[in-house]
Each structure stands twice: as structure tokens, then as C-alpha cells.
A and B are shown apart, each in its own frame.
Chain A
Amino acid sequence: MNSLWIVTAFTLRNKLRSKAFIWTTAILAVLLVVGANLPYFLERLNLTGSNEAKPVGYLEGAYPEIVQGLQAFYGRQDNPEIRLVGIASGGSAQADEAALRQAVEDELIKGFITFADRPETGFPEVIYHSSSLMDFSVAESLRIALEGVKAEMVFRNVQLSDAERALLAAPVAVHTLLISTGEDGGKTAAEQGIAIGLTYAIIILLFMAVTITGQLVATEITAEKSSRVMEILITSVKPLKQMFGKILGTFTAGVIQIALLVGVLVASLSMPHNRGALEALGIRLDAVEPKLLIFAVFFYLTGYFLYATLFAGIGSIVSRTEELGQALSPVMILSVVGFYIAIFGLQNPESPLVVIGSYIPFFTPFLMFERIGLTDVPVWEIALSIGILLASILLFGWLAAKIYRTGVLMYGKRPSIKELIRAMKAYKV
């Protein structure tokens, strides 16, 4: 058997049997099952609790016309978000205020509205006093309702047909459709939502898979060096085969782990009770484009090999595991930068930062994938960035192999780049 495969099989076997690997996989699988079922659980909770209309108080007798309008507005809805509760006036401004606050304290109401006169428009300013800071949805609902009330007040004396009134009451809808220069037409809002969600999920997965498995490679190489097994290994098998065997073995372990986790996720998402919950959130698994998945796999492969060779090279020059973290930080920062540009780019996939970054090989797996997922990228651009990526994998693979060949023989203090180059020349690697 070729020694490359012996190293690969040995690495894979040890990885799969290690407690750390088994536990991480198990914990991640449990988290995924919980996460996948979360919409379902939330929906169940909603049925019993928070779907009820929120009670909002008002002072009886203040602006009766507006209050009546609001009550009529919410009365027309099947499932109103807000229920208005009248609070008896206490006679003076202070007493009114106290009565309203008392009602909030007694949990009769969640908040209350007061009015401030605004003679210049004739429509008062409405103030919503909320018991919690984050009650945006109530305020938004009130704003929409009040717009309707105001319109009705204005048009009360104007003769309008029912159709005209309905037009007036109907909210304006704005939908975004992605323009495509290809023939397959644009993406609908739902497809776009799924594309963003999927791109986001895959970029996170990509980042984690690349950095975690890449670091594993470095850790193992340093561990072999610090336990001095390395000296025996390099006298048994060519360092190049050893390095790529290690990278391949760890990679296979990573793929098995991801396949398991994705399997768990898909299985729990396609459980019958989850289907309705997911649809309610607008997630449909069959809306995922196969092209996107193929690119995801491709960029995982290339991203992994690019980073893994770097991690392997660095792992080989460090003699002690404690020093590894520090030595890896430049590459870690590189990957984090790529990741954050990608997260930023979810909102602006066309920004020059993302476009230029997608040609830098260390960022290509994140950024070009994002561009393909969210925008319409010409084929030549994809081909160019992939070409650069593949060329740099070869370049860094070659460089890492050279560093590895030298690094595994150097013990003691971590060598500087100058020392490393001198040693490479001296060892004639």
C-alpha cells in the first residue's frame, strides 16, 4: 500500500476514535436537532401565549374620535395585535397619569397612549408609553392604525366609493425581485430570502469547517513534533507524503462529521411536524438551488486545502503545543477577515470590497460563494477567481511542503522567517 494512504488511514482512524471528535459531533448534532425543531416549539408556545392581542390603555374621554377609529380598525381584524382598554380619568392631569401607571403595574395593560395637541396639523401627536423598551411592533401597529384613522377623518366628508375606500385602507406593498442578466428570470423575494439564509448558513459552516479542521492539522503536527514521534516518522516516510496524508485524513474526518451533521439536520427538518412550521417561516428545502450546493462543496474543498497547507506549514515549525496558538494567529486573522467581509457583504454583495476580495484566494471561498449565492456573477469572473484559488493552492502547498520538510527538523525556539530560509538552503530541501 502506498504510504500516503497509510498515513491518511491512520490519521482518519485515530481521529474518528478520539473522544474529542466523538463528543463534538454528538453535541453539535444535539444542537442541530434542537435548532431545527425550534420553529415548531416556538409556534406551539405562540398558540398558548403571546399571540393574544396586547392590552394598551387610553384615558377615557381623550380624543374620542381617534380612539373610536382605532377601536374600529382593530375590530375589523381577525387577529388583532392590540386591544384597547379604557382607563377612567382621575380628574386632574396628575391623577390621570397615576391611574394609567397603576393599570400598568396591575398588569391590566402593557402600555398606554396619550395625546399631545398639535394645532398646526389638527391631528394630535400620539405617544405610546411602553413597559418594555423593545416594543417596536406595537408602536408600528399603532402607527399603521393611526394613519388609517387619520385618512378616514380627512375623507369623512368626501364622497368616495367603497372601492376607493378600500384602496385608501390597503397598505402599500413593496417586493424586491433580483434582476438577472441570464435567461432564468429573477429571484422572487422568497427565493431571495432563502438564498440569503442559505448563503449565511453555508458561509458560517465553511468558516468553521475550514478553521477548525485546519487547526486540527496544525495541532497534530505540532503534537507529533513535541512528542518526538516526528523523528521516527520522517525517517520512515517522505515528509511530503506525511503532510498530505495528514491533511487528507483530517479532511476525510471533517467530511464525515459534516455529512453526519447535515444528515441529522435534514432528517429533523423533514419530520412531518416541522414542515408546517418551516413553511410558516418561508423556508422550503426544495427551493435550494443545486448549483449553490455544488459551489458550496467546491469552495469547502478548495478553502480547506488552501488553509490546511498553511496550517500544516506553521504546525511544522512550532516545537511546543503551547506556542502554536500564537504562531497560527496570522492565518486565523486572515480567515476571520474573510469571514467578516462575507457577513458584511450579505447586505451589500455588490460592494467593491466584496468584489475585489473575491479574487484574493484566502477570501475567495467565502466571498465568491457569497456573490454567486446573492448576485449574478459572470462566468468569466467565477472562472478567474477559481483559477487564482487553485494556483495559490498549488503554490502554498509547495511552499508548505518545503517549510514542513525544514520545520520538522528544527527544534527549540520557533525560527524567524530569516532563520527558516537559511535552514531551507542548508538542508537543501
Chain B
Amino acid sequence: MKPLVIEQIVKQYGEKTAVSNLSFEVSEGEIYGLLGANGAGKTTTMRMILGLIMPDRGEIRYYGKPYGSEQLRMMGYLPEERGLYPKLKVSDQLIYLGQLRGMSRAEADRSLREWLKKFQIEEYYNRRVEELSKGNQQKIQFIAAVIHRPKILVMDEAFSGLDPVNVELLKSTVKELRDQGMCMVFSTHRMEHVEELCRNITILDRSRTVLQGSLREIKRKFPQERVVLATEGEVQGLDSLPGVRSVRRSETGYELTIEREEVAQDILRHAMAQAPVRRFELMEPTLNEIFIKTVGERNE
């Protein structure tokens, strides 16, 4: 049974529709990407998953059951804006949060120590949050979301504002949790994180679902229109080849956009005739390009 099934949910704030007819499912051990520009309905969707607000229509099921206090305990939440008690000790507040999610004091304490050890910040057990660096505060925030070993984890704008080292650390932790079977819903603006972590995604645009499905399928649907070419010497006349839309010189070679995939072969032959080719690649569209294409163009 799927941990999280969202079926045709609708949410309206007065006249304004925040989410319309959104459906998706998340399996165990899967990270689901929820993408969209600001105001597209991501936060509202997450709030509905967390049970903070109820959908006007449609249904959300957790392991086949509707929302209840039982579900509250199996969920973890990493909010977009970091929130901890600045004046309290790390141990005090995390044990409190663990207790609120149904752990005993001792269990919460044990779990907290394990996590601190994992992130190699055991010395912060008795420190006040305001004394910690931003990166360490975010590790604490992450522990706050997972201390009670939730089955469903909701991450709003995870990894935003983190330095690259900490991003890698949290990313690998998230992957570990995924491999242990945790079900995660993940929203971000950083497309490269989605490409790395998510199997299935939904792109929302002003409350509507504009793209949905597995990342691979989606990419396959979008034509491969970009060619990267690097050669030993100069290559003349690339822009006069039929089907080439634009040519841009880069530090290492050329970047071309083409109308059809077959044109790529013509480019390769054309280049090989003039100079040895070091690199030739027909690029998959990046998620960033797909996102801008589906959402950005509409917004213009």
C-alpha cells in the first residue's frame, strides 16, 4: 500500500484557487519532486499533506487511511523558513519535539545523540541554538524533522541557503533515508537537486498541474535540441547548416541549438571534415530548461 496517495485535491481561498485537481502517489523509498514558481500552490499542497488545512475536495490517504492524529506522528516536516527556539539548548528542544511526536524522553534522547554523532556535532548537545553557525542550525533543523523516524517526510525548499559541503552531507543523508524506505515529498527551486534525487515529479503553475510523471519520461518527451561540440581547431560554417537554430562559441568549443535530432549527425560530419573532434554530445534537456519552457513561457 502506498504511503501517500493524493487524489484530485482542490483548495480555494475565497475567489482564488490555490490548488486544482492535483493527484499523485509516492511509494516507499521514493523522493517525490514538487516544482513550481512562487505562488504555484506548493506550500498549500504541503500544508494539506501535513494536515494543517483540509482540501475542499478530493482526498489524501496515508497508507490507505484518511488523516488523523495517528498520521501526525508518522510525519516529519522540514519547513522552508528555519524555525527553532533560539534561546533554548539543542537537547531541550529536540527532545521536546521528539516527545510531541510520541517518543519517550529516553528514546528521543538516544535518537538525538545518534543524529548528532552522524553529523559529527556531538558537542552541540548542550549549546543554545543561537550560538551555532547557520550551517549547524540547519543540521539541527533537519534532525528536528527526522528525530522520530517518520514514515513520510515533507521537505519545503530543502537545502536552500546551505554551503556545498552541507548540501552534499544532507543530500547523502536524504538518500540514505530513502533507501531505508522513507517516503518523501520534496520541493525546491534547485533543479539539479531534483534531477539527482527524484524519480517522479509534478510541475505546478498557478494552481494547475502542467507536467507530471517520471523524470525520464518527461525528458524523453522534450526534444533533444542542444549539441555540445569541442574540436582541436576552428570549424567554419556551422550556422549555415540546415536545421541549426543558433551557434554560440564557448571557452572550450561550441554550443548549438537544433530543430531536429537528426541535424546533430550533420553537425558531427561537418565538424569532422574540418578538425579532430574531442567531444560531441547530444544533450538531454535539463530540468531547468523544461521548467522554464513550461512555466516561464506562460509567465511572460
Pair A426/B84 contact, Cβ less than 8 Å: no
Instruction: Let me know if A237 is at the binding interface, CB within 8 A.
Output: yes
Instruction: Let me know if A102 is at the binding interface, CB within 8 A.
Output: no
Checking A3, A7, A227 against B85 with a beta-carbon cut-off of 8 angstroms, the contacting residue is A227
Q: Give the nearest-CB partner of A241 in chain B.
A: B100
Pair A7/B100 contact, Cβ less than 8 Å: yes
Q: Scan residues 69-106 of chain B and give those whose CB is less than 8 A from a CB of chain A.
A: 69, 72, 75, 77, 79, 81-86, 88, 92-93, 96-97, 99-101, 104
Pair A229/B100 contact, Cβ less than 8 Å: no
What residues of B have a CB within 8 angstroms of the CB of A236 in the complex? 72, 97, 100-101
Give Cα A231 to B56, complex, Å. 22
Checking A6, A227, A238, A427 against B96 with a beta-carbon cut-off of 8 angstroms, the contacting residue is A6
Indicate with 1 or 0, residue by residue over A388-401, a CB within 8 angstroms of chain B CB atoms. Answer: 00000000000000
Instruction: Let me know if A422 is at the binding interface, CB within 8 A.
Output: yes
Pair A237/B100 contact, Cβ less than 8 Å: yes
Q: Give the Cβ gap from A247 to chain B, nearest Cβ, in Å.
A: 17
Pair B13/A233 contact, Cβ less than 8 Å: no
Q: Give the Cβ gap from A192 to chain B, nearest Cβ, in Å.
A: 49
Q: Give the Cβ gap from A74 to chain B, nearest Cβ, in Å.
A: 67
Q: When A10-B96, A235-B75 are in contact, do A228 and B14 touch as well, CB less than 8 Å?
A: no
Checking B13, B72, B83 against A232 with a beta-carbon cut-off of 8 angstroms, the contacting residue is B83
What residues of B have a CB within 8 angstroms of the CB of A229 in the complex? 83-85, 93
What residues of A have a CB within 8 angstroms of the CB of B104 in the complex? 1
Give the secondary structure class of A's interface.
helix
Instruction: Let me know if A234 is at the binding interface, CB within 8 A.
Output: yes
Indicate with 1 or 0, residue by residue over A185-225, a CB within 8 angstroms of chain B CB atoms. Answer: 00000000000000000000000000000000000000010
Q: Scan residues 175-227 of chain B and give those whose CB is less than 8 A from a CB of chain A.
A: none
Instruction: Let me know if B53 is at the binding interface, CB within 8 A.
Output: yes
User: Most B CB atoms within 10 A — which of A6, A228, A235, A427?
Assistant: A235
Pair A235/B77 contact, Cβ less than 8 Å: yes
Instruction: Let me know if B128 is at the binding interface, CB within 8 A.
Output: no
Range class of the B interface residue count:
20 to 34
Give Cα A14 to B89, complex, Å. 11
Indicate with 1 or 0, residue by residue over A253-297, a CB within 8 angstroms of chain B CB atoms. Answer: 000000000000000000000000000000000000000000000
Give Cα A234 to B13, complex, Å. 20
Give Cα A232 to B85, complex, Å. 11
Instruction: Let me know if A175 is at the binding interface, CB within 8 A.
Output: no
Q: Scan residues 227-275 of chain B and give those whose CB is less than 8 A from a CB of chain A.
A: none
What residues of B have a CB within 8 angstroms of the CB of A7 in the complex? 100
What residues of A have a CB within 8 angstroms of the CB of B12 in the complex? 426
Instruction: Let me know if A409 is at the binding interface, CB within 8 A.
Output: yes
User: Once A and B bind, how many residue pairs between them come within 8 Å at the CB atom?
Assistant: 69
Instruction: Let me know if A386 is at the binding interface, CB within 8 A.
Output: no
Give Cα A3 to B72, complex, Å. 12
Pair A426/B88 contact, Cβ less than 8 Å: no
Instruction: Let me know if B295 is at the binding interface, CB within 8 A.
Output: no
Checking A14, A235, A427 against B50 with a beta-carbon cut-off of 8 angstroms, the contacting residue is A235
What residues of A have a CB within 8 angstroms of the CB of B145 in the complex? 232
Pair A409/B53 contact, Cβ less than 8 Å: yes
Indicate with 1 or 0, residue by residue over B28-56, a CB within 8 angstroms of chain A CB atoms. Answer: 00000000000000000001001111101
Give Cα A423 to B93, complex, Å. 30
Give Cα A7 to B52, complex, Å. 19
What residues of A have a CB within 8 angstroms of the CB of B83 in the complex? 227-232
What residues of B have a CB within 8 angstroms of the CB of A232 in the complex? 77, 79, 83-84, 97, 144-145
Q: Give the Cβ gap from A219 to chain B, nearest Cβ, in Å.
A: 13
Pair A427/B144 contact, Cβ less than 8 Å: no
What residues of B have a CB within 8 angstroms of the CB of A409 in the complex? 47, 52-53
Give Cα A237 to B71, complex, Å. 11
User: Most B CB atoms within 10 A — which of A232, A422, A423, A428?
Assistant: A232
Give Cα A2 to B140, complex, Å. 25
Give Cα A6 to B108, complex, Å. 13
Q: Give the Cβ gap from A160 to chain B, nearest Cβ, in Å.
A: 82
Q: Give the Cβ gap from A232 to chain B, nearest Cβ, in Å.
A: 6
What residues of B have a CB within 8 angstroms of the CB of A230 in the complex? 83
What residues of A have a CB within 8 angstroms of the CB of B82 in the complex? 228
Checking A10, A233, A428 against B53 with a beta-carbon cut-off of 8 angstroms, the contacting residue is A428
What residues of A have a CB within 8 angstroms of the CB of B53 in the complex? 409, 426-428
What residues of B have a CB within 8 angstroms of the CB of A238 in the complex? 69, 72
Q: Give the nearest-CB partner of B75 in chain A.
A: A235
Pair B100/A427 contact, Cβ less than 8 Å: no
User: Most A CB atoms within 10 A — which of B47, B52, B54?
Assistant: B52
Pair B72/A6 contact, Cβ less than 8 Å: no
Pair A235/B96 contact, Cβ less than 8 Å: no
Checking B14, B52, B100, B144 against A426 with a beta-carbon cut-off of 8 angstroms, the contacting residue is B14
Pair B77/A231 contact, Cβ less than 8 Å: yes
Q: Give the Cβ gap from A13 to chain B, nearest Cβ, in Å.
A: 8
Pair B84/A6 contact, Cβ less than 8 Å: no
Checking A6, A227, A428 against B54 with a beta-carbon cut-off of 8 angstroms, the contacting residue is A428
What residues of A have a CB within 8 angstroms of the CB of B72 in the complex? 235-238
Q: Give the nearest-CB partner of B130 in chain A.
A: A227
What residues of A have a CB within 8 angstroms of the CB of B75 in the complex? 235
Indicate with 1 or 0, residue by residue over A165-180, a CB within 8 angstroms of chain B CB atoms. Answer: 0000000000000000
What residues of A have a CB within 8 angstroms of the CB of B92 in the complex? 14
Q: Give the nearest-CB partner of A3 in chain B.
A: B100
Give Cα A357 to B100, complex, Å. 42
Q: Give the nearest-CB partner of B85 in chain A.
A: A229
In the complex, 21 of the A-B residue pairs with CB atoms within 8 angstroms, ordered by the A residue number, are A6-B99, A6-B100, A10-B96, A227-B83, A227-B84, A227-B85, A227-B86, A229-B84, A231-B79, A231-B83, A232-B77, A232-B83, A235-B50, A235-B51, A236-B100, A237-B72, A423-B13, A426-B13, A426-B14, A427-B52, A428-B56
Q: Which 6 A-B pairs have the closest CB atoms?
A: A228-B83, A236-B100, A235-B77, A231-B79, A229-B83, A428-B54
Name B's A-contacting residues (CB within 8 A). 12-14, 47, 50-54, 56, 69, 72, 75, 77, 79, 81-86, 88, 92-93, 96-97, 99-101, 104, 144-145
Known: A6-B100, A231-B81. 8 other contacts (CB 8 A): A3-B99, A227-B84, A228-B82, A229-B84, A232-B77, A235-B75, A237-B72, A409-B47
